[in-house]
Structures are given as structure tokens and as C-alpha cells.
Amino acid sequence: MTNANLTPHIACAPEDFARTVLMPGDPLRAKFIAETYLTDRELVNNVRGVQGYTGYFEGKRVSVMASGMGMPSIGIYSYELFHMFGVEQIIRIGSAGAIDPSLQLFDLVLGQGACTDSAYTSQFLPRGTYAPIADYGLLSAAAAECERRGLRHKVGNLLSSDCFYGESGIPGTLEWRKLGVLAVEMEAAALYANAARAGKKALCICTISDLVETGSVTTAEQRQTAFHDMMQVALTIA
């Protein structure tokens, strides 16, 4: 690893990252993925404790680095990876709350598109509404891999919200459900918009960790085990 500071947030050389980066929100989950799945792994970034690793999965060179929480955070890291480190595709792997009542805990949702209540995408347009979408190649590969593994999954719209603790819960949950939105998370719209603007590829794969309608939630221990399905799908299509 070359000790170079290209940005205030990532301290390594561009060649230290693979062309594909998996991005969980949690730095400790990035560490877990690297230690569990990657061979010949190397810590390439640890600025602000946001751990990034590069190694090999079944012969493919892959990186994994945390994004932090929310669109501003993943917006910074994905922008830098796309524009300054030569990364070609980012696959977000995280948790989401189910809005669609047919979803169950631990189901996978593949984000075909990402609706949002954020103003993040307004920076790209003087007026109008941009529709952030996934890369079709990554999306179709992930769906096929879920089918091959027999995993419960749905493909459709996510809601990327700026609010975790809203005054009245998640704003407009019922309205979003009426429009067919499957689940809510906090990062995909910014990632998809950044990828589109950079001419790169992105996909968000989420594991359902809670059910908005019933209030059912998973434990930290359950998530640690159940998230393996999502991680393996992402690594296989990387």
C-alpha cells in the first residue's frame, strides 16, 4: 500500500483499490467481510476509522470499505472512489426497513431505483426530478444469483430517507407504499446519482432488518449471521 493522501477522507494510492468496492455502512462490518471472505487482504484506508480493505474473493480482486450513515456520507466516499481512485462499480450492502407488508425479516431487496425525500440529487439539475436507478447489469446478475441460491428476494424501488428519527416516524410511509416502494434505507439515491454522473455502475442490496408496519426487528446477533446471504451475492457478482 502506498501512503498517499489524495482526499481528506481516504489515505492511499488509487491502485490500492480494486475496480469493484462493496460498501456496508458500518466500518466493523467492512472489517468482518474482509476477514471472513477475502484472502491476501490488506487494510488500505483507516482515516476517521472508516476501514477499507482490498483482497481476493475466488480469484477476483475486490475492495470493501464502509460508507458511514446517510446520503452525505456515502455521497462523499462514492464520489471520491469514482472520480479519484478509478473505481468502476460500487455495491452497497446494508439493512433496510420493510414498507411492503409482504416482505419478511431477512428477505433481500435489490434496489432497482431509489426514491428519496432528500435534496441531494437537486445539485445535478436546475429543475426537474431525477430518478436514481441501479446499473442493470449488476441488478440482473444479483437477481439471477438470488434465484440460483433460492433466496427470498424482491426487485423494486427503495426509499432513501434523510430521517431516521422523524417527528412522525418515516415521512409518508403509507404514501410511498401506495407507489410500490418496498423498503426504506438512507444511502442508495446518493450512490446511484453519483454513479450516473461519473458514468460508473452502482447497486444497492439490502437485507430487511425490521418491519415498519409491525415494529418487528432483528437483533445484532441475528443480523451478523443473516447478512451472509447478502454479502455472498454481492461478492459473487463483483
Amino acid at residue number 53: Y
Grid cell 419478511 — which residue? 104
Cβ atoms of 204 and 114 within 8 Å: the answer is yes
Is 229 considered catalytic here? no
The catalytic position among 16, 40, 210, 229 is: 210
Q: Is 219 exposed, middle or buried (0-12, 13-18, 19+ CB in 10 A)?
A: exposed
Question: How far is Cα 37 from Cα 52, in angstroms, rounded to an integer?
Answer: 14
118-139 CB burial, b ≥16 within 10 A, e <16: bebbeeeeeeeebebbbbeebb
Q: Is 193 exposed, middle or buried (0-12, 13-18, 19+ CB in 10 A)?
A: buried
User: 213: helix, coil or strand?
Assistant: coil
Cβ atoms of 79 and 168 within 8 Å: the answer is no
Give the CA dihedral 104, 109, 112, 117, nearest 10 degrees.
70
Catalytic positions, please?
A: 210
